[in-house]
């Protein structure tokens, strides 16, 4: 069914088990240990690392000069000092949470955007680009060898790491093989960046009522996928048989995994059925009306917006201000690598310029809101007890020098090439 034999699958489960244990030992366990210690001992010299500069502390954030003390990758103490007491004025910022990606199409960086409408312009067409099963993306993914898939995703993971991203949530197509390839790519990259994988069954577009044997295969595939992935990422409620979709949702919930779904990207027709599934995360909601946004807010379902992607595919701009009005927790995704580079700085520039959203709210959208949405509360802000997922930005770069309001400078102007180092 999946092309993997039993021993491949056992080996894969071992990799996941090991990776999960490593992750937990780096995060939750250390978190508990660190906060349950009696005091923090002698500060001086007792920590692994100290990072000094202008710290973007907390979720709002508070900008303070001082030191961040780190041990076992956990922030042990944040010491506030007078600016004259520290040499470095570089900015210490939490790394980004990229709440929605598809890195499987990394090898398709220059797709045609659509048919030529005029000699000088294309007619953008979302469906011909990405709609399953016949959109360009899916044909391309089917043509990739496993090695090509793994090595290209490895390079996207590297790129995201260098762009200051600490967690990315990927909609991984191609069933168990696709998820297995991403796990392998992440292992090969060997970077301190955490994937949340939303796998996608290959067989779920079949008509369950007409083929019970295939339906049985589908349930096997779903069960195996839920073993190895963090959850299921559904391409859209209109793409999937209603019965199958209900099964996907109930099995995902009962396994305590996450259900995420694209909704309202091209029009409103798939929003209501998506909301009915009680997903953990909605993607896009570009055409959502106020009532639908209120339902999302009341049900505490976060929304990942992908503004640059929506611009490339020509579907319109998401009503981000209405989302905030309704009380939705909004986070940010860079979406398909084939459409945009996985660069959260660029997303922030666009969001700031298009909507005029305040710097503080945009900061939360790119960091702690994403961590909350993905269940990664071990990171997403610089706070004692959290994982030290930070980037240090060069306050003296040509781009950032003369900035008087560092939060505004970070949101509206900073770029990946301002990063001096990743902590």
CB of 171 to Zn ion, least distance (A): 5
Q: Is 254 exposed, middle or buried (0-12, 13-18, 19+ CB in 10 A)?
A: exposed
CB of 154 to Zn ion, least distance (A): 20
- Could you tell me the CA-to-CA distances from 135 to 17, 223, 245, 252, 315 in Å, in that order? 35, 27, 21, 26, 16
Question: Whose Cβ is closer to Zn ion: residue 318's or residue 406's?
Answer: 318
Question: Whose Cβ is closer to Zn ion: residue 173's or residue 335's?
Answer: 335
Residue ranges that bind Zn ion, judged by CB under 5 A:
335
**Sheet of 165-172, strand order:** 330-332, 303-305, 281-284, 258-263, 231-234, 194-199, 165-172, 96-102, 335-336
CB of 24 to Zn ion, least distance (A): 28
Return phi, psi of residue 69, to 5°: -100, 130
Q: Please tell me the distance from the alpha carbon of residue 250 to that of residue 244, in angstroms, as a whole number.
A: 10
Q: Please tell me the distance from the alpha carbon of residue 354 to that of residue 348, in angstroms, as a whole number.
A: 10
Name the pairing type of β-strands 96-102 and 91-94.
unpaired
Question: Whose Cβ is closer to Zn ion: residue 105's or residue 389's?
Answer: 105
Give the residue ranges of DSSP H helices in 131-256: 136-143, 146-162, 175-189, 212-228, 242-254
CB of 323 to Zn ion, least distance (A): 17
Q: Considering only CA atoms, which of 216, 226, 280, 270 is closest in space to residue 248?
A: 226
CB of 86 to Zn ion, least distance (A): 42
Contact 16, 257 (CB under 8 A): no
Question: Whose Cβ is closer to Zn ion: residue 74's or residue 303's?
Answer: 303
Cβ-closest residue to Zn ion? 335
Question: Whose Cβ is closer to Zn ion: residue 226's or residue 304's?
Answer: 304
CB of 306 to Zn ion, least distance (A): 7
Q: Please tell me the distance from the alpha carbon of residue 377 to that of residue 370, in angstroms, as a whole number.
A: 9
In angstroms, what is the C-alpha Rg of the chain? Answer: 22
CB of 235 to Zn ion, least distance (A): 8
Question: Whose Cβ is closer to Zn ion: residue 101's or residue 163's?
Answer: 101
Q: Considering only CA atoms, which of 355, 338, 258 is closest in space to residue 347?
A: 355
CB of 313 to Zn ion, least distance (A): 10
Question: Whose Cβ is closer to Zn ion: residue 335's or residue 418's?
Answer: 335
Question: Whose Cβ is closer to Zn ion: residue 193's or residue 339's?
Answer: 339
Q: Is 358 exposed, middle or buried (0-12, 13-18, 19+ CB in 10 A)?
A: middle
Question: Whose Cβ is closer to Zn ion: residue 153's or residue 419's?
Answer: 153
CB of 168 to Zn ion, least distance (A): 12
Q: Considering only CA atoms, which of 96, 99, 101, 97 is closest in space to residue 339?
A: 101
Question: Whose Cβ is closer to Zn ion: residue 184's or residue 335's?
Answer: 335
Contact 165, 342 (CB under 8 A): yes
Name the pairing type of β-strands 62-71 and 74-80.
antiparallel
Contact 96, 134 (CB under 8 A): no
CB of 102 to Zn ion, least distance (A): 5
């Amino acid at each position: 069914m999946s092309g993997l034999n039993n021993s491949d699958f056992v080996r894969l489960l071992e990799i996941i088990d090991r990776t999960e244990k490593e992750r937990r030992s780096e995060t939750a366990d250390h978190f508990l240990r660190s906060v349950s210690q009696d005091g923090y001992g002698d500060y001086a010299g007792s920590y692994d690392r100290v990072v000094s500069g202008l710290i973007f502390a907390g979720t709002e954030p508070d900008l303070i000069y001082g030191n961040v003390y780190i041990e076992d990758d956990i922030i042990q103490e944040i010491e506030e000092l007078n600016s004259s007491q520290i040499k470095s004025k570089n900015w210490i910022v939490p790394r980004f949470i990229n709440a929605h990606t598809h890195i499987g199409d990394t090898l398709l960086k220059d797709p045609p955007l659509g048919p030529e409408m005029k000699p000088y312009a294309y007619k953008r067409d979302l469906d011909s680009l990405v709609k399953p099963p016949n959109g360009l993306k899916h044909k391309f993914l089917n043509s990739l060898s496993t090695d090509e898939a793994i090595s290209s995703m490895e390079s996207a993971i590297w790129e995201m790491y260098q762009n200051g991203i600490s967690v990315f949530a990927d909609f991984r197509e191609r069933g168990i093989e696709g998820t297995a390839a991403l796990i392998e790519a992440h292992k090969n990259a060997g970077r301190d960046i955490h994937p949340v994988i939303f796998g996608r069954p290959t067989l779920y577009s079949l008509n369950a009522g007409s083929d019970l044997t295939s339906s049985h295969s589908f349930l096997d595939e779903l069960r195996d996928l839920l073993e190895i992935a963090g959850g299921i990422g559904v391409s859209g409620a209109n793409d999937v048989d209603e019965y199958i979709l209900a099964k996907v949702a109930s099995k995902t919930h009962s396994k305590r995994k996450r259900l995420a779904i694209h909704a309202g990207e091209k029009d409103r027709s798939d929003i209501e059925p998506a909301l009915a599934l009680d997903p953990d995360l909605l993607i896009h909601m570009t055409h959502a009306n106020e009532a639908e946004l209120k339902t999302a807010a009341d049900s505490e379902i976060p929304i990942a917006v992908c503004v640059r992607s929506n611009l490339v595919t020509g579907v319109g701009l998401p009503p981000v201000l209405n989302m905030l009005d309704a009380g939705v927790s909004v986070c940010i995704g860079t979406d398909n690598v084939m459409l945009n580079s996985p660069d959260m700085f660029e997303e922030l520039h666009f969001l700031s310029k298009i909507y005029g959203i305040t710097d503080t709210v945009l900061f939360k959208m790119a960091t702690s809101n994403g961590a909350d949405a993905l269940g990664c509360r071990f990171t997403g802000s610089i706070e004692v007890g959290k994982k030290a997922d930070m980037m240090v930005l060069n306050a003296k770069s040509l781009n950032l020098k003369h900035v008087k309001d560092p939060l505004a400078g970070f949101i509206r102007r900073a770029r990946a090439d301002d990063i001096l180092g990743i902590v």
